[in-house]
Amino acid sequence: MSTRRGVTLAGAGREFLRHPTPWMLTGTLIAAAAARVSAGDWQLTDALVPLAMLAVFPFAEWMIHVVILHWRPRRIAGVTVDPLLSRKHRDHHVEPRDLPLVFIPWQSLLWVLPLAVAVALIAFPSLGRGLTFLTFLALLGIGYEWCHYLIHTDYRPKSTVYRSIWRNHRQHHFKNEHYWFTVTSSGTADRVLGTYPDPGSAETSPTARNLHARG
């Protein structure tokens, strides 16, 4: 496990591009953006769709983190249900500095990305708006991967906004895994949904590095 001391933003960027998930999301972004330009039919809703997605994204991030990533393995109808995303996330908590575990598993993107394409083509009243959704979703995915990755490097925050996000997520990993579930924002969905306590009064969890273990 690398200590990765003295990380610069450029060095972090080079390492980021050595992993498959950013390339998969970037490929989706380029293809979706090209298809959106080709489709034409620009409407006011092409601006409203990204704004709505930005408003919803912290809550979607929170829900995915709580329900899927922190899923507790259980037997349903005699079958143990323990998705890859959940297993990899437990490993990520054990070794938060292990870079491959920081990224969304590429195997999961093999079905998540086609599902996103299906939603874009089926759930929207027009092709243009669906492609706008898909383009911005890929952009949000890249933003999430970059932000999450950077937090887990030794790159130190320079801006007030990033410092707040950095502190928020590190408290989730090293203070208490039951709080601070958003990654790309700080104090948004967590405040609304009651998982943003005062760090000074929050209990230090004995299972932050070993999810679902008995403390």
Residue 140 located in a structural domain: yes
pLDDT value for 187? 84
Torsion of CA 142, 56, 127, 121, to 10 degrees: 80
> pTM (2 decimals)?
0.93
Question: Residue 72's pLDDT is what?
Answer: 94
Instruction: For residue 154, tell me if it sits in a domain.
Output: yes
Q: What is the pLDDT of residue 46?
A: 96
Domain assignment of residue 205, yes or no: no
What per-residue confidence (pLDDT) applies to 215?
Answer: 46
Total count of domains within the chain: 1
Task: Check residue 214 and give its pLDDT.
Answer: 53
201 lies in some domain: no
The tally of CA atoms less than 13 A away on the side-chain side of residue 195 is 24
Please answer whether residues 21 and 27 qualify as being in contact, where contact means their C-beta atoms are separated by less than 8 angstroms: no
How would you write the pLDDT of the chain (215 residues) with one tens digit per residue? 344 456 899 999 999 999 999 999 999 999 999 999 999 999 999 999 999 999 999 999 999 999 999 999 999 999 999 999 999 999 999 999 999 999 999 999 999 999 999 999 999 999 999 999 999 999 999 999 999 999 999 998 889 999 999 999 999 999 999 999 999 998 899 999 999 999 999 999 999 999 987 54
DSSP 166-214: HHHHHHHHHT-TTS---SSSSSSHHHHHT----TTTSPPPTTTTSTT--
| Residue 115 belongs to domain spanning | 16-193
